Amino acid sequence: MSQPNEQQAAPVHFMQKERLRAEAAVEQTPVHTGEVKKETQIIAIYGKGGIGKSFTLSNLSYMMAQQGKKVLLIGCDPKSDTTSLLFGGRACPTIIETSSKKKLAGEPVEIGDVCFKRDGVYAMELGGPEVGRGCGGRGIIHGFELLEKLGFHDWGFDYVLLDFLGDVVCGGFGLPIARDMCQKVIVVGSNDLQSLYVANNVCSAVEYFRKLGGNVGVAGMVINKDDGTGEAQAFAKEAGIPVLSAIPANEDIRRKSANYEIIGRPDGQWGDLFATLAQNVADAPPVRPKPMTQEALLGLFAADAVGRNVVLQPATNADMMGRDIVVKPSLEVIYDEV
């Protein structure tokens, strides 16, 4: 059978290019902004490590439970510290370590082995491998596979809150966004460049998967340790997402959090703040964010604070070798054009 020549292949190649252009030009379906139809709201919370996600989520989930909601909090951080504040500093067995022990003993994992509760809040930790002994993202995937076997999709919660690191970019940590496992995402940040860089990355991930046909949107931002300088507020405005709450940089909050004390109590000093946050989290629709460029993100801060006055100076071979370089003539033969 004869092979197609270049003249025959060219029209086919042209048609493929035109078809791809046509597909790329199709406007994506906008993010649903009406009432969430699923009975359970699954919300993924992302932020830079140490920004206060665990503090925010422990108090938020506690307040939701006091308001009569059935809440499940799942820590998806290899440090397994999401539930530490909720449980007064006590570490609960993680799904990954429990699964390994049960497998060696030839026993199945039961829900009571990995899920624990306090004052109406149900909580568990996925966990992760020890340093240098495995992939944290793969551990997240394995953990969710086990949750599905335990009946995750049949559980009857009002809210499932997933605590994810935002500054780890491997696939497992992007699972809720990439696989539409949640309806909306919330980012936690502060008035510092690194936390807003992570928040912007999360917005970029949401937008990327939207272009691939995903349905997850960003419900808003929680500003933690807010000192009033305004950079996080400015970021939220530029990214087109609402601020759900601004938790102040307050010594009383810092001290109580360090002592594993829940402050999200209806009758406490900070009760109104977390009650409002709980309502905003419940009501906020998922929106399609507008990620910022690196230069625009830097522009939220004073130039001297983020080094925008620095000029990039190209290095030379002499710099790299630590001595002057003698340029030798090339031995390449160059022919004059005919």
What are the residue numbers of the active site? 48, 53, 79, 167
Q: Please give the structure tokens belonging to residue 195.
A: 């936390």
Rounded distance, CA 192 to CA 75, Å? Answer: 24
DSSP 59-122: HHHHHHHHTT--EEEEEESTT--TTTTTTTTPPPPPHHHHHHHHHHHT----HHHH-EEETTEE
CB burial of residue 208 (10 Å; 0-12, 13-18, 19+): middle
Rounded distance, CA 182 to CA 167, Å? Answer: 19
User: Residue for token digits 């793969």?
Assistant: 138
Please state, as a whole number, how many other Cβ atoms lie within 10 Å of the Cβ of residue 246: 18
- H/E element, 210: helix 193-211
Name residue 61's amino acid: S
Using alpha carbons, select from 113, 44, 53, 112 the residue that is nearest to residue 85: 53
Rounded distance, CA 29 to CA 132, Å? Answer: 42
Rounded distance, CA 85 to CA 62, Å? Answer: 11
Rounded distance, CA 82 to CA 127, Å? Answer: 10
Please state, as a whole number, how many other Cβ atoms lie within 10 Å of the Cβ of residue 260: 14
What are the φ and ψ backbone dihedral angles of 78, each rounded to 5 degrees?
Answer: -55, -20
Rounded distance, CA 209 to CA 206, Å? Answer: 5
Rounded distance, CA 255 to CA 127, Å? Answer: 26
